[in-house]
Amino acid sequence: AQLDRFLLKVRIGYPDEQQEQRILEVNRRDRSSTAEPLPDLPPVDELRDLVGAVRIEEPVRRYIVSIARATRDHPDVAVGASPRAVEHMGDAVRARALLQGRDYVLPDDVKALARPVLTHRLVMTTDARIRDRTAEEAVDEVIEHVPVPVEFSGFGRG
């Protein structure tokens, strides 16, 4: 239940050998001499408002809910995506659309963020864990089987 509060699960592996050597090199120098001022960024409240203004048309909303509900019915999943997961998916796909210069969400935004938004929220069945089944596989199967909306007024805008 506590993992359900996190918006995304992002896996960050270890750096390769050359990257680690570079870390040592950079840390050896006086970093304060290379610090540059940050560019002027909009206040967080403005960014939240921009993200909040991104539209999720009804077919895409249904798609998000269908994906969440399908995780609850997946045979390898003991605990599926919660209503909070649906809410977080909405936030994440709006932000992705905004970053890509759109004021509307596409089904591709949902597909792209399904794993990072959902996998850490799913609890696999004991049988699935014994068979080395992962939440990532379950989410991939759900995405593969839930019908994707193909027509809605968001296409062609932006």
pLDDT in tens, 2-16: 666 666 666 777 667
What pLDDT was estimated at residue 65? 96
Burial of residue 16 (number of CB atoms within 10 Å: 0-12, 13-18, 19+): exposed
8: its two tokens: 């995304």
Spatial distance between the Cα atoms of 76 and 68, rounded to a whole number of angstroms: 14
The structure's pTM equals: 0.73
**Residues 8/85, Cβ–Cβ less than 8 Å:** no
Spatial distance between the Cα atoms of 99 and 58, rounded to a whole number of angstroms: 21
User: Which has more pLDDT, 100 or 18?
Assistant: 100
Q: Which residue has the tokens 């998000």?
A: 64
Spatial distance between the Cα atoms of 40 and 149, rounded to a whole number of angstroms: 39
Within 10 Å of residue 75's Cβ, how many Cβ atoms?
10
- pLDDT tens column, 84-139: 999 999 999 999 999 999 999 999 999 999 999 999 999 999 999 999 999 999 99
Domain annotation for the chain: domains and CATH numbers: 40-145 (1.10.8.80)
**Residue 158 confidence class, pLDDT cut points 50, 70, 90:** very low
What pLDDT was estimated at residue 7? 61
